[in-house]
Amino acid sequence: MVAGLLAPASAEISKRTIRVSNGVAEDHPNGEGVRAMAQCFDEKTGGEWTLNAFWSSALGDDLQATQALRSGTQEMVVTSSSPIVGIVPALGVFDLPFLFANEKEADAVLDGEFGQYISDMMPAANLVNLAYWENGFRNLTNSARPVTKLEDFSGMRVRVMQNNVFLDTFQTLGTNATPMAFGEVFSALETGAIDGQENPYVTIDTSKFYEVQKYLSNTRHAYTPFMVLFSKTIWDQYSEEEQQILVDCAVAGRDVQREASRKLSEESLARVEEAGLEVNDIDTAEMEKIHEAVQGVYERHAEEIGPEVIEKMQATLAEIRGE
């Protein structure tokens, strides 16, 4: 025995097992992010930490997993911010339609002061946000018809996340919108209980929605982030050094995850098209009508999100845009 070879980097590091739950499948870019995080833990703890990842909602959907963190029975979840707005209403700011123009803006907001402002709200809900990862720009798929104009949304049965802003946006566009947990979407599409759903290309690809959908219309109606959340109850049992490792490794994972997301996005689009999805763009004039139709969503949800949160977001974006 070579004593000390696998000794932890410091006495402040204990043996730990961390369970992380994911709604998406393992071949989603989150898989690469989680692997990078596990490797980072390994390096920084001298192998003292084990990261056990669960995929495709195996540990429950986003909301259930987040509640398990709050009650201290699970360590970590990679969840979209959208299904947990009931816990921290300010998160609804990210769901506002057509908020970010591109990934660069999203990164600047999320990794900057605004992202920290939101992260600072999480401990009150017994959660710690370790980092923002990328879910991405969302596009509509369905099995009824290609959406090329505002009127095409009419009457379409579309699954939305359990989130009032998305519900309102899709009702305003004219769809018959149904809130549903992510894990139920595939079978609801398969049985025809709903006609469509909206998610980034990488999710349409890795959750195999192309098998049960005919059309993909490039709506880019929202960019939603993933949050890498940790149970505050468990966080409080970690040493300061361990807490720093959690943050550093979630950030290391973030950089890998975002790069994978952006690389896979184009590949995913090509793959779902190859698999038979009919893909269409929406022309600029029609896109403008769609933007206009949903403008009222901002006003209607200001009170619930917090007017100051929306104002801060808009000021941050104006600054990034050099306005």
Q: Is 141 in the site for ligand TK8 (CB under 6 A)?
A: no
Q: Is 194 in the site for ligand TK8 (CB under 6 A)?
A: no
Q: Is 203 in the site for ligand TK8 (CB under 6 A)?
A: yes
Q: What is the DSSP letter of 150?
A: G
Q: Is 128 in the site for ligand TK8 (CB under 6 A)?
A: no
What is the rounded distance in angstroms from the CA atom of residue 63 to the CA atom of residue 68?
9
Which parts of the chain are beta strand (E)? 16-22, 49-54, 76-80, 127-137, 139-142, 157-160, 176-179, 196-199, 215-217, 223-231, 278-280
Angle between helices 240-274 and 103-111 (to 10 degrees): 170
Smallest distance, Å, CB 292 to ligand TK8? 25
- Closest of 146, 117, 152 to residue 132, by C-alpha: 117
Q: Which helix (H) or strand (E) holds 260?
A: helix 240-274
Q: Is 80 in the site for ligand TK8 (CB under 6 A)?
A: yes
Binding mask 45-64 for ligand TK8 (x = CB under 6 A): -----------------x--
Q: What is the DSSP letter of 93?
A: G
Among 45, 79, 129, 169, binds ligand TK8 (CB under 6 A): 79
Q: Is 133 in the site for ligand TK8 (CB under 6 A)?
A: no
Among 114, 170, 182, 223, binds ligand TK8 (CB under 6 A): 182
Contact by Cβ (8 Å): 219, 140 = yes
Read off the tokens for 290. 């769609």
Smallest distance, Å, CB 153 to ligand TK8? 18
Among 199, 206, 213, 316, binds ligand TK8 (CB under 6 A): 199
| Residue closer to ligand TK8, measured from CB, 24 or 156 | 24
Smallest distance, Å, CB 214 to ligand TK8? 19
Q: Which residues bind ligand TK8 (CB under 6 A)?
A: 23-24, 62, 79-80, 135, 161, 182, 199, 203
